[in-house]
Amino acid sequence: MAARRKAKAPSRWRWLWSPVKWATVALLGYLLACTLLLVAYRWVDPPITTVQIQRYAEAAVAGEPFALQYAPVSEAEQDADARHAVVASEDARFYTHHGFDAVELRAAYEEARAGGGMRGASTLTQQLVKNLFLTTHRSWLRKGLELPLTVLAEWILPKDRILTLYLNSAEMGRGVFGLEAAARHHYGRSASELTRDQAARLAAILPAPLERRPQDMSRTSSRIQTRMRQMGW
């Protein structure tokens, strides 16, 4: 009788074990696919990103037209001031951390404890993997996936390549993705021809690219340029 009960015991958990097993397999498969793509992205640019797909889907659901402006360029074709402006404004310790900025995380935590609400503390690497493989929707699932993807990106990609990929994939207006497309859309010139002020203004819209416009970013642009000088740029 006891042996019969032992034999039946595993079947009680089969309904739970099967979904957990397949969810684990799906997660590992997803991470493996992302790993292979990151290896490829050391040398080639993504043909499309998940955030771009998200914007296509949102426009389709709303019944609105959507024109994608996306033109990835090499590091040499990205204005140096634009690269510096983005680091200065978005992730000042980009070249010294390993994907997560402990100083910013601690500051965000202390601010939240003081009742100031949660503010972003994502590094450029975290923002890159969100752009490439996730969506802009905030959820615990996205944050959970962001952690291993950030570790993988830092392990596979050199820092300068991470910055290049970020500047090629970042959303900078409705349907506008990447520095080259943004430079042409907002200023009618290529990414390599941006002035220092224009570069800082484009960096200033990154936290809210669908709401902000470069021409309205004079004060923020000035602060970014001051920070650039303080960092030796």
Residue 26 lies in a domain: yes
d(CA 147, CA 164): 21
What pLDDT, in 10s, does the model give residues 114-148? 766 555 679 999 999 999 999 999 899 899 999 99
CATH number of 115's domain:
1.10.3810.10
Q: Do 164 and 50 touch, CB atoms closer than 8 A?
A: no
Residue 169 lies in a domain: yes
Residue 15 lies in a domain: no
d(CA 88, CA 94): 9
Six-digit token string for 96: 């010294």
Residue 130 lies in a domain: yes
Q: State how far the alpha carbon of 159 is from the alpha carbons of 18, 93, 100, in Å.
A: 40, 12, 13
Domain region containing 154: 21-230
Across the range 204-218, mean pLDDT stands at 98
**pTM, 2 dp:** 0.89
Residue 16 lies in a domain: no
Number of domains making up the chain: 1
What pLDDT, in 10s, does the model give residues 22-57? 888 899 999 999 999 999 999 999 999 999 999 999
**Closest residue by Cα to residue 162 from 78, 227, 220:** 78
